[in-house]
Amino acid sequence: MSNDTSGKARNNSYRHVLDDGRVCHVYDVCGHSVRVFDDFENAMLIDDLYKDELLSSAEKEETLVCMLFVDPQGAIDAYGDEFPDAVAEVLEQAFGITNGAEPAKRVLDWSQDSERIKATLLAAYGLDPEEAMRTHSYRDVCSFIGLSPHESPMGQALFYRIAERPKTTKYNRQQIESFDKARKFYALKTEETIDYQDANARATAAFDAIAKGAV
């Protein structure tokens, strides 16, 4: 196994490249070091797992363990009775998912913003989007998006979804009209309150928490 420890990642994790080329990070969790598949692509697959209506809760839990850990059985053996707590801690550290998270303003949707995200990764950071989502952690991709340059596709979208509308004066009518037009263009298609049991909502909430931390 080769590894790259050129720099410590957030949450006391560091990067490993497995023999098959897949990337993982090592996390310190509940007194043990554990290798976790925390790449963006895997985060979206976990998102799909939560949405699956055919699998039982037990099947989802079993599948989740195999998707998260490089050595699932080794992790189960190492943590013993603490394993459920370890899984919860990994989900929080790697993906920002915390049970009972308070609803936040919805500023991003992974499906609706897919093309903007890809364009921003390429234009602003010179990253091949498909490769970046396989080789960069979910947290890193969230940081890239959260710190998107203002002129980038995601930077523009985030700005007009978050920024306060300028106060109207007798001199800025055109500015207000331009702002309102841009806000309407970049608005998400649905603005209803999100059910935080929904997987996309959890991913969006995780982005919100991680992006704020990055900024």
User: What is the per-residue pLDDT across 38-96, written as a single tens digit (0 to 9) for each?
Assistant: 999 999 999 889 888 999 999 999 999 999 999 999 999 999 999 999 999 999 999 88
- Which domain, by its residues, includes 202? 114-214
Q: Decide if 102 is inside a domain.
A: no
Residue 70 and residue 123 share a domain: no
- pLDDT of 17 strictly over 80: yes
- What's 137's DSSP letter? B
Do 68 and 121 fall into the same domain? no
Sign of CA dihedral 26, 31, 32, 37: negative
pTM: 0.77
Amino acid at 30: C
pLDDT digits (tens, 9 = 90+) for 100-147: 556 567 789 988 999 999 999 999 999 999 999 999 999 999 999 999
Residues 91 and 126 placed together within one structural domain of the fold: no
- Percent of residues, the chain, with pLDDT higher than 70: 79
Angle at CA 86, nearest 5°, toward 80 and 89? 170
Q: Are residues 91 and 118 in the same domain?
A: no
Is residue 86 within 8 Å of 55, Cβ to Cβ? no
Would you say residue 100 lies in a domain? Answer: no
- Residue 108: inside a domain: no
How confident is the model at residue 7, as a pLDDT? Answer: 36
Residue bearing tokens 């991709």? 141
Clarify whether residues 207 and 121 are in a common domain. Answer: yes
Read off φ and ψ for residue 101, nearest 5 degrees: -60, 140
User: Of the candidates 91, 98, 99, 8, which has an alpha carbon nearest to the alpha carbon of residue 43?
Assistant: 91
Q: Provide the number of structural domains found in the chain.
A: 2
Q: Among 95, 122, 152, where does a domain finish?
A: 95
215 or 11: whose pLDDT is higher? Answer: 11
